[in-house]
Amino acid sequence: MQDREKLIFLKIDEARLLVDYFKDINIGIPQEEINALEFLIKEAENFVILGKLTISQNRLESFDQKLRSIEDKYFSELTPRQIDYISRSEQRPKTLDYTREVFEDFEEIKGFEANSPDPAIVCGFAKLHGNEVMVIGHEKGTFGEHFRRGGSALPQGNYKAMRAMKLAEKFGIPVVTFIDTPGSWPLEEFLPAQRIAKNLEMQYLLKVPHVSVVIGEGGSGGALAIDISDYRIMLDKAYYSVISVSGGAAIIARDKRHITEDDMNRAAENLKITAKDAYRLGIVDKIIKEPKIGVRKTDKDFFPIVRDAIVEGFDTVKASVSYFFVSDTKIKNVWKVKNHQIRKLLRNRAKKYKKIGVYHSSISDQLKHLFGELYRLKPIHYLFTPFRKTFDSYIKRRALERGKEDLILKPQEQPKVLAYEDRWVECPNAPIHGCQDIWVPTLFEEYDGTCPHCGYHFRLIIDNYIDILVDPGTFREFNEGIESVNPLGFEGFDEKLVKAKKTSGKKCAMITGYAHIGGHPVVLILTDVRFRAGTLGSAEGEKFWRAIKRAIREKKPVVAVHQSGGARIEEGLLALMQMAKTSIAIAQFKQAGGYYISIQTDPTMAGVLASYASLGDIILAEPNAQIGFAGIHVIEQTVKHKKPKNYQHSEMVMGRGGIDMVVRRHDLKETVVRLLELKKIRGREEQF
């Protein structure tokens, strides 16, 4: 075959691949346009077979022209929904393509005593300009590689990634992660949420620089499981989101049974999933511009751009911890962080995630916070503590004298919303055990919200937990001025927020405060399920962070009662990043020697279970509480069969090893007090 002929055939193959790509991404290019392209290819092929090479080449030239017009017409202003389509294309480069094209000498490592080699995650050593790096990423694989589950990692895969990071840490090798997952595999059997939580905590403590690249799908907690990085790069046709677009559409749709393409478009718009949005929200540090129609495996000149961005990322991280840094990849181990720089690396990492979030804070609250921060400085602490103590007792005395006891919440003043609803309630176990109907006030006042016949635990509101756990009159709330807002301008959310604030009487879903439990002073954190299903948003994340900081400062143990539906969808990526923020707070707390008792009640789900709720030194749960990673219908859809009714009940979760104890509400306080007693053994009582 002649060289010229060969070249034409090559071009025809490329053109075919391109048309396949257009069909695959399905962004609304009309069929006529695609037909016209296919026709030109066919003609070019026919003419080359007939030996009329010049005509064939002409056809290919008109193909190119047509292509450019399509590019201009349909790719100039892509909507978030179209980007979502493109990000999932089969022809986009996957992690293994990057490992081959960006690095030298990639050597995959599997196993890691993780019980499964989980091929949805690949790890391995590689060289970047001669420097050793550890590369980890979600791998979707090519057509037919079903065993990779489309990049949905099992908990074992996330564990494997963690072990690889630890190995890198051992040698002081920097870590690069490639994010490309629709989300973690949702099956509860191997505790996906608990694994993600551990990954978040451990990644913060990683003593080497970590650069991540979002190359395709940034699917929620599954993405975050390997993405607590110091420098985040994102391709401009990748997405990053707290929920899939279809999941978001189910929330936004007016008719929940018929989700239309318009709902999908609006959801993608509202969730703010694009690289530009992530950059604006302070979540991404650098955006890489792709070719107009999106990057494909054949775009060989794209990979050096990614390589340069990764190098720039490492340079930036290294420069942020060292005063005299010369960016030169010819220097051996140029990104190695020295021992004395590690503290700064971790501090910067914490700062990066601390900043993320949009909430409202009252002026008095801001002042109090400012003084609190000043108070952390040791000399000020020593100087003012005696004053503060006298002042506190003075205020208390004054309040008592004036009969205004609003500073000291008496138990009878703590609202008991459910208890004052005068009605009967039926126990869900009545058909099985023949329980009698119960008068609601009696149920809550005498039986702590449990059925006196069968012991079924009704869902309580958070104020009831204050009654049950806390010594009467000792709960003092702080940071009550922090308020949830609608940072993304999510459609219809303003009204929902107003309603939530009205029905719950709170400014956000979380309450934090000081309390005594069995005489032990603790920092108490509670979530109110009545406020937007107790979801985790920016305000809650900030409150959690501040509560933990207080606990560190004042050396108090933390007791948290969880009752939450997960991360708040309407705050998009900001909510997702609160998972990182809260987990980092806990990691710092434990590093300082803190003691954290986590109590999971009905329900503890999704993003909350996959972060701070699963990071307790000890984890308690109530009987028959719903505890899980994903909604049961999502799981059933994924595995295509029904799951038992108690699939996500606390007893089952304990059976899988996700919970330490299932404690009856009646015994809850006694158990918590006993656990708090334990800390005395270690010595000085004030030391947590």
Residues that bind Zn ion (CB under 5 A): 427, 429, 435, 451, 453-454, 456
Phi, psi of 325 (to 5 degrees): -115, 130
Q: How far apart are CA 618 and CA 111, in angstroms?
A: 29
Q: Which residues contact 422 (CB under 8 A, 6 or more apart)?
A: 440, 441
One-letter amino acid of 376: R
C-alpha distances (whole Å) from 466 to each of 456, 462, 514, 665 are 20, 7, 11, 12
In whole angstroms, how close is the CB of 260 to Zn ion at the nearest point? Answer: 43
Given the complex with Zn ion, which of 342 and 425 has the nearer CB atom?
A: 425
Q: CA 303, CA 295: separation in Å to the nearest integer? A: 10
| C-alpha–C-alpha distance, residues 229 and 219, integer Å | 16
Token readout for 594 is 């803190």
Least distance to Zn ion from the beta carbon of 468, Å? 19
Residue nearer to Zn ion on the CB measure, 16 or 664: 664
Helix (H) or strand (E) holding 180: strand 175-181
Would you say 88 or 457 has its CB closer to Zn ion?
457
Instruction: Tell me how many helices (H) and strands (E) the chain has.
Output: 25, 20
Rounded to a whole number of angstroms, the minimum distance from the CB of residue 457 to Zn ion is: 10
Q: Which of 546, 658, 557 is nearest to 610 (CA)?
A: 658
Full 3-state SS string of 387-452: HHHHHHHHHHHHHHHCCCCCCCCCHHHCCCCHHHCCCEECCCCHHHHCCCCEEHHHHHHHHCCECC
- CA 225-226-231 angle, to 5 degrees, is 125
Q: Record the tokens describing residue 210, joined without a space.
A: 């970590």
Q: How far apart are CA 180 and CA 97, in angstroms?
A: 12
For the CB of residue 430, give the shortest distance to Zn ion in the complex, in Å. 6
Which lies closer to Zn ion via its Cβ, residue 427 or residue 440? 427
d(CA 492, CA 486): 10
- Smallest separation, CB 634 to Zn ion (Å): 30
Please say which residue, 454 or 654, places its beta carbon nearer to Zn ion: 454
Query: What is the nearest approach in angstroms of Zn ion to the Cβ of residue 459?
Result: 14
Length of the chain: 688
Cβ pair 281, 292 in contact under 8 A: no
Q: Please state, in angstroms and rounded to a whole number, the distance separating the CA atoms of residues 26 and 180.
A: 19
Q: Pick the closer one to Zn ion by CB: 34 or 454.
A: 454
Cβ at position 451, least distance to Zn ion in Å: 3
Q: Nearer to Zn ion by C-beta: 253 or 430?
A: 430
Sign of CA dihedral 118, 287, 262, 93: negative
Q: Name the nearest CA neighbour of 541 among 307, 354, 323.
A: 354
Nearest-approach distance from CB 438 to Zn ion, in angstroms: 8
Closest distance of CB 425 from Zn ion, Å: 10
41 vs 451 by CB, closer to Zn ion: 451
Q: Taking a C-beta distance cutoff of 8 angstroms, is the pair 497, 373 a contact?
A: no
Q: Cα 96 vs. chain centroid, distance in angstroms?
A: 24
Nearer to Zn ion, 53 or 425 (CB): 425
Using the minimum distance from each CB to Zn ion, give the nearer residue, 346 or 435: 435
* Smallest gap from residue 442 Cβ to Zn ion (A): 14
State in angstroms the smallest separation of the CB of 444 from Zn ion: 15
Give 167 or 454: the residue with its C-beta nearer to Zn ion.
Answer: 454
Nearer to Zn ion by Cβ, of 434 and 519: the residue is 434
For 192, residues 6+ apart whose C-beta sits below 8 A from its C-beta are 154, 155, 158, 184, 185, 186, 610, 629
Residue that has been written with the tokens 């303003």 in this structure? 494
Q: Kindly state the smallest distance separating residue 601's Cβ from Zn ion, in Å.
A: 18
Stated as kind and residue range, the H or E segment containing 480 is none
Could you give the dihedral angle defined by the CA atoms of residues 15, 21, 23 and 26, in that order, rounded to the nearest 10 degrees? -140
Provide the minimum distance between the beta carbon of 624 and Zn ion in the complex, in angstroms, as a whole number: 11
Closest to Zn ion by CB, 391 vs 439, is 439
What are the distances in angstroms from CA 96 to CA 83, 126, 531? Answer: 22, 12, 44
- Min CB(450)–Zn ion separation in Å: 8
Q: How far is the CB of 623 from Zn ion (least distance, A)?
A: 12
* C-beta of 291 vs 434, nearer to Zn ion: 434
Q: Using an 8 Å Cβ cutoff, are 505 and 539 in contact?
A: no
Specify the DSSP class assigned to residue 174. -
- Asked if 583 contacts 440 with a C-beta cutoff of 8 angstroms, the reply is no
The span from the CA of 122 to the CA of 140, in Å, is: 10
Indicate the residue among 358 and 454 with the shorter CB distance to Zn ion: 454
What is the enclosing helix (H) or strand (E) of 325? none
CB atoms within 10 A of CB 116: 16
- Within the chain, what is the greatest distance between any pair of CA atoms? 106
- Strand, helix or coil for residue 108: strand
Closer CB to Zn ion, residue 231 or residue 456? 456
Which CB, 137 or 449, lies closer to Zn ion? 449
Phi then psi dihedrals of residue 205, to 5 deg: -80, -5
> At what angle are helices 342-354 and 303-321 packed, to 10 degrees?
110
